[in-house]
Amino acid sequence: MKVTFRGASDEASNIKTFKFDKPGGFSYIAGQFIEMTLPHKNPDERGTKHWFTLSSSPTDDFLSITTKFAERSSTFKQTLAKLEPGAKVEISEPMGDFIPPKDISRPLVFVAGGIGVTPFHSIMEFLAATNEKRNIRFIYGVNNEDEIVFQDTFAKADVHATIVVGEPSESWGGERGRLSAELIMGLAEPSEDALVYVSGPEPMVEMLEKSLVKAGLKHDQLVLDFFPNYENDLAS
Ligand SMILES: Cc1cc2nc3c(=O)[nH]c(=O)nc-3n(C[C@H](O)[C@H](O)[C@H](O)COP(=O)(O)OP(=O)(O)OC[C@H]3O[C@@H](n4cnc5c(N)ncnc54)[C@H](O)[C@@H]3O)c2cc1C
């Protein structure tokens, strides 16, 4: 279906949110993603189609995606950055099962690596808008303080959040280091019925999948969202 671009706003120096009108009858569950098609001349090997999580809440009257821009962006991202308000963009139906469980009493651990924060933004905005209370422990790893986004949402959703910064400035008073199974298990102490959601660059999610299982989590406690082509992000 075609959606109309409303405009973009900065979340951080290299992270932007793109808003679109929400077509009547479009419904999705917080945490789902769409495929966006942006035809352009001479596309590079990253192509004309990209998957993006809907960072908006299903309760919003708009749809949004939030993405990161590299120093040398793909031709797709260059085209996205040049969209003018009013432009029509093709997106797919929403899909994916990186969504909270139906049982709202189940303890949840949310682990975001960098731009992998987008589904958690959608979920937490939804929880705040509907006043739904869930037991969520949120751990958010970034390279540096400049890349921290959506802090208002985490405060509003009333979740216990810890931000872990890989290369912090001297004034950073919070957790330092890279996301690891040891750090996650130590901070969250997940119970046997907890579900642990991990979202971020593919190599990071793969590494945490293996090490969290080694650290004692059962595989069916893990819900994973892999973002491809951010190979160098959050590299340890
Ligand atoms: C289910 C799912 C949900 C997703 N949700 C999101 C989301 O919410 N937000 C989001 O940002 N992404 C999301 N992604 C990932 C997204 O689809 C892209 O893979 C990602 O944004 C990288 O985009 P890009 O390839 O345009 O690279 P860029 O973002 O432009 O660049 C990433 C890196 O690749 C390098 N690079 C760029 N072009 C090339 C090239 N032609 N050759 C070699 N290197 C190149 C850059 O220099 C940079 O180091 C999701 C993916 C999936 C599967």
Number of structural domains in the chain:
2
Average pLDDT over residues 176-182: 97
Residue 100 belongs to a domain: no
Q: Using alpha carbons only, give the angle 151, 176, 31 rounded to the nearest 5 degrees.
A: 40
Rounded mean pLDDT, 193-207 = 97
State the distance from the centre of ligand 1 to the C-alpha of 195, rounded, in angstroms.
Answer: 27
pLDDT of residue 193 exceeding 60, the answer is yes
Give the model's pLDDT for residue 153: 95
- Residue 230 Cβ contacting ligand 1 at under 6 Å: yes
Which residue among 229, 231, 232, 233 has the greatest number of ligand 1 atoms within 8 angstroms of its CB, and so is best to mutate?
A: 229
Residues 18 and 54 in one domain: yes
> Tens of pLDDT along 26-61?
999 999 999 999 999 999 999 999 999 999 999 999
What local confidence, expressed as pLDDT, does residue 235 receive?
54
Residues spanned by the domain of 150 = 108-227
Q: Is the pTM of this model over 0.85?
A: yes
75 and 135 in a common domain = no
Residue nearest to atom 27 of ligand 1 (CA): 74
| pLDDT on residue 234 | 72
8 Å CB contact between 114 and 201: yes
Q: What is the pLDDT of residue 236?
A: 44
From 38, 52, 55, 69, give the residue whose CB has the most ligand 1 atoms within 8 Å, as the site to mutate.
52
Residue 236 lies in a domain: no
Atom 44 of ligand 1, nearest CA residue: 74
Which residue in 67, 74, 63, 68 sits closest to 5, CA to CA?
A: 63
Task: Give the CATH number for residue 176.
Answer: 3.40.50.80
Q: What average pLDDT does range 123-138 have in this prediction?
A: 96
Instruction: Check which CATH number belongs to the domain holding 10 and give it.
Output: 2.40.30.10
Give pLDDT, residue 97: 97
Flag whether 101 is in a domain. no
- Together in a domain, 115 and 221: yes
Question: In the prediction, which pLDDT does 190 show?
Answer: 97
Do 127 and 61 belong to one domain? no
